[in-house]
Structure 1
């Protein structure tokens, strides 16, 4: 389950709970009857089973399935010159799934790459949230709502600064909108014959202050 955080300077700070594995890998937050879908970072290199296209400096290309550092082309030829490519990309990545039983813990994760402290998976009789030990019931590795909330508490603390900035941005936007609306109302009142003293009384300032503020704005 994803948690949408504040949007500051056009950047969303989204977080979610990810399952962790003993070898340091983490899930992508998607589960099915096949197990847990493994996460792949954009800068990860190709893995066995990925369909890869290599482009060389001389203009040549090679495309096929990546297997142990080589490319298996569609014509059955093994292309092993994969170390001098100018660029590489894959059109399709092989989806890797692991069984729910292999999950050893959970952590809060964020789009920026930050990850919270691990919560360890234990049998139900050893569960102790105060000691960061959680358990699940049944065959799946999905936390219940209460435990997911506990894990995401660390994420909420992490984004507290951005949350405050979002509130500042929103307040500033409201203030700017109110100022524009006031300027328009003053112009309309002046056009209808209101004096500077009238404007001052309506806005809670002196007539002189009203003159200084709005006469320069036309």
Structure 2
């Protein structure tokens, strides 16, 4: 596979695309493995619910994620002269493996990172909320300790940037 999100909920990769649109999940010595059986290709010997599509037949690449997300198609062109990165076209020789070039894989990785950005941001938000709650508990305990040590509400309010009255209203019942 390729990349894993911080929460381990998303795993993405640059998948080869078969002529019928199915995405590769892995590969074997004979070609790319795609889930499903159409009868057009030979079944994989190990995963019988997958077919082996020859590398030469792969039409391009797209981002894929375990959550079901798919990126836009990067088309495989038949000659280097037809390659145009700005139009999502790249040349990979028909002689070897159909894996995306490093440049296309990097672009797909960036697309996948955009896909997971909301969940990554939520993780940051959850962490900040936990830290905020912990800081609040620490502040409450420290205020109680200061009050027990003889500090006035005016001193406590001044230390935390609020008025004496606000400090009293916030912490007096917690004593």
Task: Give the TM-score of the pair, scaled to structure 2.
Answer: 0.78
The equivalent residue for 2:89 is 133
Q: 1:168 to 1:212 in 2, by over 3 A?
A: same
Q: Could you tell me whether the CA contact under 8 Å between 2:43 and 2:52 is conserved in 1?
A: no
Residue deviations 1:34-79, cap 9 Å, x none?
A: 4323236xxxxxxx979xxxxxxxxxxxxxxxxxxxxxxxxxxxxx
The equivalent residue for 2:3 is 3
**Unpaired stretches in structure 1, ≥5 consecutive residues:** 41-47, 51-91
Q: Which has the higher helix share?
A: 2
RMSD, aligned α-carbons: 2.8
CA distance in 2, matches of 1:99, 1:188: 72
Q: Could you tell me whether the CA contact under 8 Å between 1:183 and 1:214 is conserved in 2?
A: yes
Once the two structures are superposed, the pairs formed by residues 146-161 of structure 1 within 5 Å of their partners are 146-161=103-118
Q: 1:34 to 1:181 in 2, by over 3 A?
A: farther
Q: Which has the higher strand share?
A: 1
Q: Could you tell me whether the CA contact under 8 Å between 1:5 and 1:163 is conserved in 2?
A: yes
Q: Could you tell me whether the CA contact under 8 Å between 2:18 and 2:53 is conserved in 1?
A: no
* Aligned residue among 128, 138, 146 for 1:181: 138
Residue deviations 1:183-208, cap 9 Å, x none?
A: 22222222333222221121111121
Q: Could you tell me whether the CA contact under 8 Å between 2:12 and 2:112 is conserved in 1?
A: yes
CA distance in 1, matches of 2:59, 2:43: 26
Number of aligned residues = 166
- 1:172 Cα deviation from its structure 2 partner: 1.8
Once the two structures are superposed, the pairs formed by residues 1-218 of structure 1 within 5 Å of their partners are 1-5=1-5, 7=7, 12-28=9-25, 30-39=26-35, 93-94=47-48, 96-122=51-77, 123-136=79-92, 139-218=96-175
Task: Give the TM-score of the pair, scaled to structure 1.
Answer: 0.64
